[in-house]
Amino acid sequence: MDIDTLRQKDSRTLWHPYSSTINAPPVFPVESANGVYIKLADGRELIDGMASWWCAIHGYNHPALNAAIESQLSRMAHVMFGGLTHAPAIRLAEQLVDVTPAPLQKVFFSDSGSVAVEVALKMAIQYWAARGRPDKQKMLSLRQAYHGDTLGAMAVCDPLTGMHTLFRQVLTSHYFADAPRTRFKGEWQDDDIRSLQILLEQHHAEIAALILEPIVQGAGGMWFYSAEYLRAARALCDKYEVLLIADEIATGFGRSGKLFACEHADISPDIMCVGKALTGGYLTLAATLTSNEVSDSIADEGRGVFMHGPTFMANPLACSVALASMDLLLAYDWQQKVEFIEAELLRGLDACRGMSKVVDVRVLGAIAVVELDKPVDMYSMPAEFVSRGVWLRPFGKLVYVMPPFIIKADELKKLCDAICSVVEETV
């Protein structure tokens, strides 16, 4: 089919994420993808600056990941996880326990990041019920937080400035502390933690857990904050007997310059959520990790079972490709690669700093953000990037980059040049 026919059929039957079905922004039909390149149906090739919403850290069509899928497919594509188990899930769980901060020792698989967050919230509530404290059912979150699009996850996203304000009346009401304002590696200000401290002092008897995105607040604003805030939050949770949930779905597996962003502060959460890059962008899979203290306390309760069970939990294909992705990541100097990307992004986006429409330029690891003084035009800006041979999908006032780790210097330069020119010429 030609491009116009593809687009017409798409608009007739499909509803894309965060998009209207009337006067929707243009979509770009894709024929294939390889390495860091997306090939459009019209033959144009785009450097992917999004890593497919941050998950394709090894790029596309990687032979090792392809082989993992093909090998597992010849044995079984799926089997229920209730009452059954299989080697890919066991090996992946062992690997996750090995690479995440101690004392995370139990792994609960699910099929998306939002569900991993739902699982974490339910774990926290069920843990305190098992400990004889059923009143601890509220969550404490941060302003500018984003934790997913399902109802439970939406309830711990920023209730005012986030994308889910329409649903406020049907969401469970939780507590929200002010977002941390001290920049990553900035001079720490003690009063930055004050809002969180006050809420814990006043409401710890009903708060089951604090949930936050370590170091990088993602879709809520792409803000990089001080590791000292994370250390202080961990100490306050210990003091007030509140569990700490680390949402590492966007930051896990090296994106921030550490394998997990919690490592910037040398802290360990009680519960951790991972997803996105877990399978290298091949299949949807997520995991919620917790300590034996949490899992065994739930097991000691009357029924002794955790009340959750996704149909496609621990899908063998997804577990197999996740193992291959982690083997790839750990086999080479990924940290040096991320440091290289950070340096190139800092250099390439420096020209944006002096532009009148630019409020801020932020870079951490393999993440870069150009913050503008007004929201971008989602009808025209993605097309401007496509015309320059790159794929970027801005949101709000932010133009950001999260490329695959295999990207090269000339490809990073093309991404940065495109951002600088589009911001200067079209915003």
Distance CA 118, CA 116 (A): 5
**CB-based contact 262:33 (threshold 8 Å):** no
Cα–Cα distance, 202 to 17 (Å, whole number): 39
Burial class of residue 301, CB neighbours in 10 A (0-12, 13-18, 19+):
middle
Furthest CA-CA distance within the chain: 64
| φ, ψ of residue 413 in degrees (nearest 5) | -60, -40
Q: How far is CA 395 from the centre of its chain?
A: 15
Residue where the block lists tokens 């992917």: 48
How far apart are the C-alpha atoms of 220 and 83, rounded to whole Å?
39
Burial 79-90 (b: 16+ CB within 10 A, else e): eebeeeebebbe
Give the residue numbers marked as catalytic.
18, 146, 247, 276
- Quick check: 128 and 120 in contact, CB under 8 A? no
Q: Which residues of 147-161 are buried (b: 16+ CB within 10 A; e: fewer)?
A: bbbeebbbbbbbbee
Output phi, psi for 395, to 5 deg: -150, 150
What does the angle CA 329 – CA 75 – CA 308 come to, to the nearest 5 degrees? 70
Amino acid at 373: D
CA dist 26 and 16 (Å) reads 11
Contact 342, 412 (CB under 8 A): no
Q: Using CA atoms in the order 165, 166, 172, 174, what is the torsion angle rounded to 10 degrees?
A: 10
- Residue 116's DSSP bridge partners are none
Q: What is the DSSP string of 4-49?
A: HHHHHHHHHH---TT--SSSPPP---EEEEEBTEEEETTS-EEEES
